[in-house]
Amino acid sequence: MNRKIQLGIWSALVTLVLISLPSIFHYAQQLVGKSVIDQENFSWQMERTYENLSATVLNPIDLEKASQEIPVTKEEIEEYRNLYGTLSEQLSNIQEQYAERIANAKAENNETLLLALVKERDTKLEDIQQNFESDEHVEDKILKQKARQLALYEEEKRNRRTNNLPISYDLVNIDTGERFKKGNIGAAAAYKKKFNEANGYLKAESFMDDVNNNGFSWYEGDAAVNISHDDFNSISNKPQFFEGTVIVPKEALASGGLYEESQAFTRGKYSMYAFWVVGILALVALLTVVRFRREWVLFSRFTPVYARLRIDFKAAILLLTVLVLGTYIQSEIYRSLNQFTYFTLGTAGNMIVSFLLFGVLFTALLAFQVVHLIEQLRQPGYAEQAWRESYTASFLQNVVGMFSNRTVGIQLFILLIGFFLAGVGFVGLFLGGFTFLIYVACVFFLGLPVLFLFASRGAYLNRILSATDAMAAGYYTEAIPVKGRSPLAKHAANLNNLREGVRVSINEQAKSERLKTELITNVSHDLRTPLTSIITYTDLLKDETLSAEERAKYVAILDQKSQRLKTLIEDLFEVSKMASGNLEITKQRVDLNQLMHQALAEHAEDFAESNLDVRITLPEVPIFVMVDGQKWWRVLDNLLINALKYSLPGTRVYVNLQKVGTQARITVKNIAKYEIGDNTDELFERFKRGDESRQTEGSGLGLAIAQSIVELHGGKMDVEVDGDLFKVTVEIAAG
C-alpha cells in the first residue's frame, strides 16, 4: 500500500482517538442514564417559565394604575428639552425644514397645502416653545411615552407565554391564601417540583429578569424617552411567595416542542455512544495493525526542503501545527454532541471537510515534523550548528551589535518603544474619555517629536548614503554636511576624512606619476648629454690627421665629460641607498661651527668668481652635534654649491649658524637667478633643478641628498620661497 495512504489512515485514526476519548470524559456524566429533563437547557427553560408565570399570573401589575405612577425626573425633563439643541436652534431648525416646502406651495399657488404646512410648522414651533416654558408640558409628554412603552412590554410578556414549557401547577400565596391552579398535578409527571418551607418558596415578581437587570430596551416614539430599571422598580408590586407543586406532564414528551427536543437529545446521545465505540476501535487498531512507521515520512519529497529550514523556523511551524490541531480537537469535543443532536447533510459535509483538512492533514504534518526533528537532533553536533545558524541567534547577535554603539542602540530602542506605545494609544483612542486626552497629549509631545526625529535622521542617512555612492563613483568635490553630535554626524565626519584622504592620495599619486615621468626624462637628459659628448669626441679622435694640440684638447673634454658622468652615477647610487635605508652612518661628536668654517673656506674663491657677496653669521663658541662628519660635510657642501649655482650674480648670500633652544639651526638665503615658483616640495625631488632648461652644471640631486642625510640623523630640512628669495633651513639636535 502507498505510504501516503497508510499515513492518511493512521492520521485519521489518531484524530478520531483525540476527539472521541476526551469527549467521553466531557459528556459521560451528562448523557449516560440521562434524559432531556436532566439537561441544563431544560432547567433554563423552566426558570424562564417560572418568571413568566410570576409576572403574568401570580403577581401582575395593574397597567392603568402603574401608567399613572411612572416617575419623571428633572434630569429626564432637561434631557428631553435639550435633545435637539437650544430653543433658538430648534426653532431655526423647524423654520428651515418648512421654508422650502412653503415656498414651493406659494410658487404653485396651492393655498390648501400652504395653509396646512404653515399650521403644521406653527404647531411644532409652539410645542417647542412650550417645552422650554413649562416642565409640566414636557413631563406629560414623557409620561405618555413611558405608559406606551409599559403597555408594549406587558403585551410582549403575554406573548412570551406561548414559548413556555407545558406545565400544570397548584400554588397558594403564603400571605393572602390566594390559590392559582392549572391542569392536573396528580397526572404522571416527567418533571415535578414542590415549593415549600423546606425546599424554598416560589418567589413571584411583577417583571422578568431581563427588565429587572437592564430596563426595557424595546420602545417606540421619542428617542429621548426610555422606561428604565428604576422606573420598573418604582411601579413593581411587592414580591409574593407561593407554595405548592409544578409539574411537566409525561404526555408533553409525546408531542409538541418538548417531544421534538427529547427526540433530538436521544438521537444525539446514541450517536455519541456510537462515536465513542468508533474511537475505542480506532485506538485498538493503532495499537495493533496500524502502528506508525518512520519511513512513511522520512522519504517524503518535502524532506530536503524541510531539512534546509532553520531550527527556530521549524519550531515555529511545529508550534503553529500543534495550535491549529489542538484548537480543532478542542472545538470538535465541545461541538460533537450538538452536531450529532441536530445532524443534517450540511452538518455532515462540514464535519468531513474539517476532519480531513484540520484533523488528518495537520496530524500527518505533525508526525512529519516530529520524526524529522528527532532524526536531525540525533546527529552529532546538529543542535549546536542549528542554533548558530538560527534566526534567533542572528537576532540576538544583531541586538548585541545594535548596542555596540550605545547611542545608536538606545535611539533605535526609544523609537521602537515610541511606535509600540503609539499603537497602544491608538487603540485607547476608541475608548474615549480621559484616554483620548492622554492619547492626544502623547501624540503632540511624544509621537510627533519622535516622528520628526525619525524623519530627520532618515533624511540625513539618505544624504550620507548618496554622498557615499558619489565617493564610490569617484566624485570628491562636495563634503558631507556634519550636523549635530549624533553617531550619523560622526560617521559623516569620518567619511569626510576618508574623502579628503582619498583626494590627497589621488593627488599625490598623480604628482608621483608626473614626477616619475620628469625623473626619467631628466635622468635620460643628464646622462645622455655627457655620453653624447664622449661618443662625439671619441669619433673625432679616430681622425689620424688631427694635430697633437687638437688631440690633447679632445682628450681633456673626454676626461671632463667622463668625470661628469661618473659624478651623476655616483650621486644617483648614493641617493638610492639613502632612500632604501641602506646607507650606514657613524655618529661622533662634531663641532658644527668649525665644520661650517671649513666648508665656507672651501668655496670662498668660487663665490668671489661668481660675483656673490657672502654674509656669514657664525657663533663665537662651538656648537656640538652627534653626526657622521663626512656625511654632514656633504650636506653643507651641497647647500653652498646650490647657492653658488643658482644665485643671481651681484647679490648677497646669507649663511647663518645659531643655537635655538636644544637645536642647532643652519640657514642659507640667496636671491635665485631662475623663477622657482610656489611648489617648493618638488625641489627635494631627484634630478630637480632650479633651471628648467637644465643648462647649469650639476645632477639635480643636491637638495635630495642633503635632505636624506639630515633625516637619517633625525634632523629636519625646510625650503621657503618668497618671490625670488630662496631660503634653506636645517635643524638638528645639539649636544
Please tell me what DSSP assigns to residue 445. Answer: I
Report, as an integer, the average pLDDT of 423-436. Answer: 61
Least confident of 533-537, 599-603, 693-697: 693-697
Report, as an integer, the average pLDDT of 421-443. Answer: 63
Domain covering 585-733, topology? Heat Shock Protein 90 (3.30.565)
Q: Give the pLDDT band of residue 298 (cuts 50, 70, 90).
A: confident
Least confident of 107-116, 409-418, 589-598, 686-695: 686-695
Rounded distance between C-alpha atoms, residue 619 and residue 579, angstroms = 33
- Does pLDDT of 679 surpass 80? no
CB neighbourhood size of 250 (10 A)? 12
Rounded distance between C-alpha atoms, residue 383 and residue 389, angstroms = 10
- Does pLDDT of 244 surpass 90? yes
Nearest in space to 344 (alpha carbons), one of 264, 266, 259: 264
Q: Give the pLDDT score at 229.
A: 81
Report, as an integer, the average pLDDT of 690-716. Answer: 68
Q: Give the pLDDT score at 512.
A: 63
Rounded distance between C-alpha atoms, residue 450 and residue 413, angstroms = 12
- Does pLDDT of 248 surpass 90? yes
Q: Give the pLDDT score at 624.
A: 93
Q: What is the mean pLDDT of the chain?
A: 82
pLDDT top residue among 404 and 79: 79
**pLDDT tens sequence across 615-646:** 999 998 999 999 988 888 888 988 998 889 88
Q: Position of cell 661618443?
A: 535
Report, as an integer, the average pLDDT of 201-224. Answer: 63
The C-alpha cell at 260 is 421534538
pTM, to two decimals = 0.54
- Tell me what percent of the residues of the chain surpass a pLDDT of 90: 35
- Does pLDDT of 557 surpass 70? yes
- Does pLDDT of 495 surpass 90? no
Q: Give the pLDDT score at 426.
A: 61
Q: Give the pLDDT score at 690.
A: 43
Rounded distance between C-alpha atoms, residue 579 and residue 685, angstroms = 11
- Does pLDDT of 523 surpass 80? no
Rounded distance between C-alpha atoms, residue 113 and residue 103, angstroms = 11
Q: Give the pLDDT score at 691.
A: 44
Cα angle 651, 638, 529; round to 5: 95
Cα angle 342, 344, 346; round to 5: 125
Q: Is 433 left (phi over 0), alpha (psi -120 to 50) or beta?
A: left
H/E stretch holding 411 reads helix 406-429
Rounded distance between C-alpha atoms, residue 333 and residue 326, angstroms = 11
CB 213 within 8 A of CB 200: no
Nearest in space to 52 (alpha carbons), one of 197, 211, 176: 211
Q: Give the pLDDT band of residue 693 (cuts 50, 70, 90).
A: very low
Report, as an integer, the average pLDDT of 706-722. Answer: 87
Q: Give the pLDDT band of residue 220 (cuts 50, 70, 90).
A: very low
pLDDT top residue among 458 and 213: 458
Domain covering 493-583, topology? Helix Hairpins (1.10.287)
Which residues touch 139 (CB under 8 Å, ≥6 apart)?
A: 72, 77
Please tell me what DSSP assigns to residue 254. Answer: G
Q: Give the pLDDT score at 431.
A: 60
Q: Give the pLDDT score at 652.
A: 94
Nearest in space to 83 (alpha carbons), one of 146, 138, 123: 138
Q: Give the pLDDT score at 631.
A: 84
- Does pLDDT of 320 surpass 60? yes
The per-residue DSSP string of 81-144 comes to: HTTT--HHHHHHHHHHHHHHHHHHHHHTT-HHHHHHHHHHHHHHHHHHHHHHH-HHHHHHHHHH
**pLDDT tens sequence across 263-276:** 999 999 999 999 99
pLDDT top residue among 6 and 540: 6
Q: Give the pLDDT score at 177.
A: 94
**pLDDT tens sequence across 51-108:** 999 998 999 999 888 888 888 899 989 988 998 899 999 999 999 999 999 999 999 9
CB 65 within 8 A of CB 226: no
Report, as an integer, the average pLDDT of 459-481. Answer: 72
Helices (H) and strands (E) in the chain, counts: 26, 12
Q: Give the pLDDT score at 467.
A: 75
